[in-house]
């Protein structure tokens, strides 16, 4: 959950939700790579700031995570794996991967309509 008096570590400059998600690593190819999703709370904060999770839901999910930390770690691990798969799909240059990337953008548009 975002802290009102602190600057967010996340940037939302990708133009698409999935690209913003791939941007949850700073300096990806540099010597000082910085993972921004180091905890389940970080994932919830990103989702809330990205507009895909309401504050109330984030609080409920954090309570559930506090009760089941192993499951929260598993969700975080899966989210990071998804992020890396998204990056590969979008930037591989492979036409099948490009089709997958377009499919991900279509899914994003659908998710935005559901909210």
Residues ≥6 apart with Cβ < 8 Å to 35: 24, 25, 80
What span, in angstroms and rounded, lies between the C-alpha atoms of 36 and 78? 15
Q: Render pLDDT for 10-66 as a digit per residue (tens, 0 to 9).
A: 999 999 898 899 999 998 888 899 999 999 999 999 999 999 999 999 999 999 999
The domain limits of the chain are 17-114
Q: Render pLDDT for 70-107 as a digit per residue (tens, 0 to 9).
A: 999 999 999 999 999 888 887 776 656 556 555 555 55
Among the listed residues 42, 31, 32, 112, the one whose alpha carbon sits nearest the alpha carbon of residue 80: 42
The residue among 102 and 7 whose pLDDT is bigger is 7
């Amino acid at each position: 959950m975002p802290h009102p008096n602190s600057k967010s570590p996340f940037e939302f400059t990708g133009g698409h939700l999935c690209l913003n998600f791939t941007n949850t690593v700073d300096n990806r190819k540099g010597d000082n790579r910085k993972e921004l999703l180091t905890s389940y709370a970080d994932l919830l904060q990103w989702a809330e700031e990205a507009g895909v999770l309401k504050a109330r839901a984030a609080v409920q999910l954090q309570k559930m995570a506090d009760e089941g930390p192993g499951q929260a770690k598993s969700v975080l691990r899966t989210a990071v794996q998804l992020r890396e798969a998204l990056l590969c799909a979008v930037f591989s240059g492979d036409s099948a991967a490009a089709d997958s990337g377009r499919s991900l953008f279509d899914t994003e548009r659908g998710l935005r309509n559901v909210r």
